[in-house]
Amino acid sequence: MRIRIVDAFTDRPFAGNPAGVLLLDDAFPDDDRLQNIALEVNHAETAFAHRLPGGGEADWALRWFTPATEVAMCGHATLATAHVLHTTGVHAGPVRFATRSGVLVATPAEDGSITLDFPTAPLTPVATPAGVAEALGAEPLTAFDTGPNIGDLLLELGDEKTVHALHPDLKALAAYSERGIIATARAENPELGYDFVSRCFFPNVGIDEDPVTGSAHTALAPYWSRRLGRTTLTGLQASPRSGRVCTDLRGERTLLTGRAVTVIEGELLT
């Protein structure tokens, strides 16, 4: 099997969020093998895809694994997989992926960007859990549950500087949601090209801090669209690698647009 490492939600190598991508010749092997490969790749997610028979509702089956577990939704590894399919000529035009989160569509544009069509996360306001401010290292203004597909606690903080300065207690954070914490704030200077900033900490799936999280933006998009009064926004994920996600809220669906760069290509020998 060919294996590629793709940096997603960036237009340059060694930025954005790296994902492993493996295109399989036929059906998925057993889960233990998939998990072992993902552990060996050791990126936030490794995507496995295989072609489906023609005439169905999807073109490819797609699954995502962190080094520790399978996840229900992953934006950056979906973007990375679509990038590989298009740049290698394996698939032309929009590609429909059958996933645990339903059929997800990735559409390439002439400028090289790819737009993902994902379900919008349902946001439910919740009381700020006792102790989460101490674990995060900042006092949240609001707290929202993001629903079953994402499984995060979304917390708005006082300002962008606070988000950048976070040094959370990751072990303590693990107690507050299924996957982890999305910390966000309004951009201090929108003239820099982004409307809000975020950081994502996912200790429960083996990811201390995710570099750029497409799935989190299905929750950030409706949250900030309501706050800012616009359906089209750009988010900066302020991890050390950093990356930007353009969002377009379409009711129950959210469009996520970004670019990707293949940085490594090789062969899986075992």
Q: Token pair for residue 190?
A: 């929108």
Active-site choice (40, 45, 178, 191) = 45
Pairing state between β 207-210 and 142-145: unpaired
Q: Is 65 helix (H, G, I), strand (E, B) or coil?
A: strand
Does the annotation mark 45 as catalytic? yes
**DSSP H or E run through 115:** strand 114-119
Torsion, Cα of 239, 103, 101, 157 (10° steps): 30
For residue 192, what is the DSSP state? G
State the number of CA atoms in the 13 A half-sphere of 214 facing the CB: 34
Going by C-beta distance under 8 Å and a sequence separation of 6 or more, which residues neighbour residue 95? 59, 60, 82, 85, 86, 105, 106
Whether residue 246 contacts residue 258, with contact meaning beta carbons closer than 8 Å, is answered with: yes
Whether residue 205 contacts residue 180, with contact meaning beta carbons closer than 8 Å, is answered with: yes
**DSSP H or E run through 89:** none
Pick from 132, 55, 138, 48: nearest CA to 84: 48
Residue with tokens 């590989």: 84
Catalytic residue numbers read 45
